[in-house]
Amino acid sequence: MKSLLSGESLVRRYGDVTALGGVSLELARGEILALGGPSGSGKTTLLAMLGGLETPTEGRVMLDGYDLYALSHAVRARVRGDRVGFVFQTHNLLSTLTAEENVMLAVQHGPNPTGDPRARARESLALLGVTHEAGRLPRALSLGQQQRVAIARALAAGPPVIIADEPTASLDSQSGAAVLDALKLAAQRGCAVLLATHDPRCLAIASRVVTLRDGRCEAPPAA
């Protein structure tokens, strides 16, 4: 199956410290790839490079046919914005917008802005079980609720790739199950899902698991 996102021999150095020491992987449509490994193993750095947020010291990232770091900063930002939905540990919701408005904004500026943005936002919020929080500002939400809204925002925009860093870290069992169901549905719809996690629940839904240790793959990724 043709890869939608790939990293080739990715290296990231910070001075004398090597955070990633030559990692290669590929991700196809409809696949959930989980990055496992201890804290400090390079998972977040790898996500940032694959998502076009951090330039590798060496190596190449291909996203939907684009050589990301051969592009200008402005073009790379546009390609990233059209093709990647991010779910960060810090949520990054806009504080002056309600939960629904945060999701609507992502729809309006996403790769597929057709249809009613409010209806799409409500559908995505319902999928994550936070419809009743639609009119509340982020500061009125718990951390778990903020995370579910952030994932609803990423899914509603309809990007071909979702990159999530510890998406269930702040969630209880019920909320975590809703997130996992949403990620599985996204993959079933053809989205490529890449996540970094320590959570056995996330590892259990993955098509493949790549384990990082000290900036390297502990075992070669499956073909």
Which residues is 86 bridged to in the sheet? 163
CATH architecture of 3-217: 3-Layer(aba) Sandwich (3.40)
Q: Are 110 and 158 in contact (CB under 8 A)?
A: yes
Q: Are 181 and 126 in contact (CB under 8 A)?
A: no
Structure letter (DSSP) for residue 134? T
What Å distances lie between residue 114 and 23, 99, 152, CA to CA? 37, 20, 17
How many other CB atoms are found less than 10 A from the CB of residue 190? Answer: 12
- Spell out the long-range contacts of 91-95 with Cβ–Cβ below 8 A and sequence spacing 24 or more: 91/138, 91/143, 91/146, 91/147, 91/149, 91/150, 92/150, 93/138, 93/146, 93/149, 93/150, 93/153, 94/138, 95/137, 95/138, 95/139
Q: Give me the tens of pLDDT residue by residue for the chain, a chain 223 residues long.
A: 578 999 999 999 999 999 999 999 999 999 999 999 888 899 999 999 999 999 999 999 999 999 999 999 999 999 998 899 988 777 788 999 999 999 999 888 877 777 789 999 999 999 888 999 999 999 999 888 888 898 899 888 888 999 999 888 878 888 888 888 889 988 998 999 999 998 888 999 999 999 999 999 885 444 4
Q: Are 28 and 187 in contact (CB under 8 A)?
A: no
Structure token pair of residue 151: 């994932």
DSSP letter string over 92-129?
---TTS-HHHHHHHHHHTSS---S-HHHHHHHHHHHTT
Q: What is the pLDDT of residue 223?
A: 44
Which ranges of the chain does DSSP label H, i.e. alpha helix?
Answer: 43-50, 73-83, 99-108, 117-127, 143-156, 173-188, 200-205
The pTM of this model reads 0.87
Q: Indicate the SS3 state at residue 175.
A: helix
